[in-house]
Amino acid sequence: MSQEQKQKDTEAHAQLVALYHQDIDIFAKAVLGVHLTPKQLEICEAFQNNRTITVKGAVGFGKTACLAVLCWWSLCTHDDLQVTIFGPSEGTLKSTVWKELQKYHDRMAEPFRSMFNVGAQKIDRKINPATCFCEYRLASAENISAARGIHAPNNFVFADEASGIADVVFTDALVNILSDDNAKLCLISNPSSTSGFFARTWRDPEMAPEWTHVHGRYHDKYNFKPEDLKLQAALYGGPTSRNFRVYIEGEFPLTDVEGLIPLEYIDAAVANETAVPGENIPVLWGLDPASAGKDTSVLCQRHDNKVLEFKEWQGLDPAQLSRKIYELYQQTPKRERPAVIAVDSAGLGDGVEANLKREFGLETCRVIFKNRPTRNVEKFVSLKDQIYWETREWLASEEVSIPNNARLIEELASVQYDDTSGKIKIEEKKLTKKRIGRSPDHFDALALTFSVSPSRYSGNFSWSKPIEYDWLQIYE
């Protein structure tokens, strides 16, 4: 081959590399013979354009194949590159992503195929192998040093099955790569745990905004058929099961351990279509106000053993929220209006409660969560602990009905408690908020209705006047 032809071939190869560097989809088709699904392409483009990427997903939609494509794209289109794949199990790394990398190399188009040596644990470019290679390493809390000291001008790190990697591997080692000029840290996993570093990249209000998120579901798989989903639902225990949520929907489980309210209580309440409220039991409303522009203000409407509905508002100041509640009250048929509206009156809720009572003449009950319990004082630390626990007991009866509201269900299943002191203590709201990424406003609103429920729990309640119904004399 003449020198001139070699020069032309070199230029042509450089042009191809430049094209593939810009377009992973074209690279996958032309070099690897892979046609990326829309979700796989979303992952690839997120990796191409961002430094910190977190991918949660179901089984079968192509996470491993996508990781292999990204590794080969990196190796073929970058110089001065180190690609490192971490995982909690060496056996899993060998049998999944490394096997996929070898498979793609076997069918790779020339001249790219002949440019690389593929070994049992390392891939390197034949020319300058020390400055362009890929390897896998075991991510172990017992051997943090294996995850340290990874630096290169182009430093790309993948954490496969990131839910199973100990936090200390990330915090004490892997995040340090981001000090390099062109570093990328990509976490890929089934969302099998609600705790840990991977979960926080999705759910921690302070941490999650720093990450680019991609969520894959089972129906994102290639050539998905609806009948396949029915079979998978049966195999994974049904659509309300934990495994279905994790491995088919690609969502985090509602909780890792049994919390305040067991999931079976919630499932029973959602499925119960036969609950009939007692005729002589009044409707109660619970209102959890939120700051304008922050959390959601939520109103729960409960009639005895049945939650009728939740209403939500955002961005309202106390005067606006009070007006919305009054308008809703006026629009509600008289027999369905509440006997009393229990309002979380700490902070701005104080103004909302005052407006409802003084300006609009509605019957209200001021509730301060941190106050002493009003019933079973020997059992609870605070009023919040009491009414949260009474919500649990209400659900435990399995004779109640709640809406199939995703936020409510997640909140009910997520709140934890502690009783080691001899008294029930509900965890601080900030812990729940960190776990699910928001305040448990729906749970708060529902629990508030139990602060004024003499029909089910003992206690003395008295208001200045009944509201329009003779049967409300039971409150006096």
Residue 253, domain member (yes or no): no
| Together in a domain, 109 and 239 | yes
Give the pair of three-digit tokens for residue 33: 């013979």
pLDDT reported for residue 292: 65
Total domains in the chain come to: 2
In this prediction, residues 309-338 reach a mean pLDDT of 95
Q: What percent of the chain has pLDDT over 70?
A: 92
- Mind listing the pLDDT tens digit for each residue in 204-222? 888 999 999 999 999 999 8
Say if CB 84 and CB 138 are below 8 A apart. Answer: no
pLDDT reported for residue 257: 61
Burial (Cβ within 10 Å: 0-12, 13-18, ≥19) of residue 161:
buried
The last residue of a domain, from among 247, 273, 307: 247
Of the ranges 2-11, 193-202, 319-328, which one carries the lowest mean pLDDT score? Answer: 2-11
Residue 415, domain member (yes or no): yes
| Together in a domain, 354 and 416 | yes
Confidence of residue 278 (pLDDT cuts 50, 70, 90): confident
pLDDT reported for residue 50: 97
Range of the domain at 297: 263-475
| Together in a domain, 276 and 205 | no
Say if CB 36 and CB 72 are below 8 A apart. Answer: no
| Together in a domain, 285 and 187 | no
On the question of pLDDT at 467 being above 50, the answer is no
Say if CB 71 and CB 27 are below 8 A apart. Answer: no
On the question of pLDDT at 452 being above 90, the answer is no
| Together in a domain, 296 and 241 | no
Residue 46, domain member (yes or no): yes
On the question of pLDDT at 194 being above 70, the answer is yes
How many whole angstroms separate alpha carbon 476 and alpha carbon 471? 10
pLDDT reported for residue 258: 61
Confidence of residue 319 (pLDDT cuts 50, 70, 90): very high
Q: What is the CATH number of the domain that holds 349?
A: 3.30.420.240
pLDDT reported for residue 186: 98
Q: What angle do CA 62, 253, 427 make, to 5 degrees?
A: 150
Highest-scoring range by mean pLDDT, 39-43, 176-180, 232-236: 39-43
Cβ of 309: how many Cβ atoms within 10 Å?
Answer: 10
Q: What is the CATH number of the domain that holds 26?
A: 3.40.50.300
On the question of pLDDT at 272 being above 80, the answer is yes
In this prediction, residues 64-80 reach a mean pLDDT of 96
Cβ of 109: how many Cβ atoms within 10 Å?
Answer: 11
- Strand partners of residue 213: 54
In this prediction, residues 214-235 reach a mean pLDDT of 88
- Mind listing the pLDDT tens digit for each residue in 121-169? 999 999 999 999 999 999 988 888 888 889 999 999 999 999 999 999 9
Q: Which residues of 48-57 are buried (b: 16+ CB within 10 A; e: fewer)?
A: beebbbbbbb
Give the pair of three-digit tokens for residue 99: 């096997």
Residue 146, domain member (yes or no): yes
pLDDT reported for residue 468: 39
Mean pLDDT, the chain, rounded, equals 89
pLDDT reported for residue 458: 32
On the question of pLDDT at 472 being above 60, the answer is no
| Together in a domain, 410 and 439 | yes
Residue 257, domain member (yes or no): no
Q: What angle do CA 146, 152, 157 make, to 5 degrees?
A: 55
Strands in 297-303's sheet, in edge-to-edge order, are 306-313, 297-303, 283-288, 338-344, 364-367
| Together in a domain, 295 and 184 | no
Q: What percent of the chain has pLDDT over 90?
A: 67
- Mind listing the pLDDT tens digit for each residue in 3-49? 766 677 678 778 989 999 999 999 999 999 999 999 999 999 999 99
pLDDT reported for residue 469: 35
CA 90 to mean position of chain CA atoms: 28
On the question of pLDDT at 255 being above 70, the answer is no
- Strand partners of residue 306: 303, 401
Residue 375, domain member (yes or no): yes
On the question of pLDDT at 460 being above 80, the answer is no
| Together in a domain, 287 and 218 | no
Distances (CA, A) of 146 to 87, 137, 149, 165: 12, 7, 8, 13
The last residue of a domain, from among 223, 247, 271: 247
| Together in a domain, 62 and 10 | yes
| Together in a domain, 179 and 49 | yes
Residue 254, domain member (yes or no): no
| Together in a domain, 348 and 436 | yes
On the question of pLDDT at 114 being above 90, the answer is yes
pLDDT reported for residue 131: 94
- Mind listing the pLDDT tens digit for each residue in 394-413? 999 889 999 999 899 989 98
Residue 252, domain member (yes or no): no
| Together in a domain, 279 and 229 | no
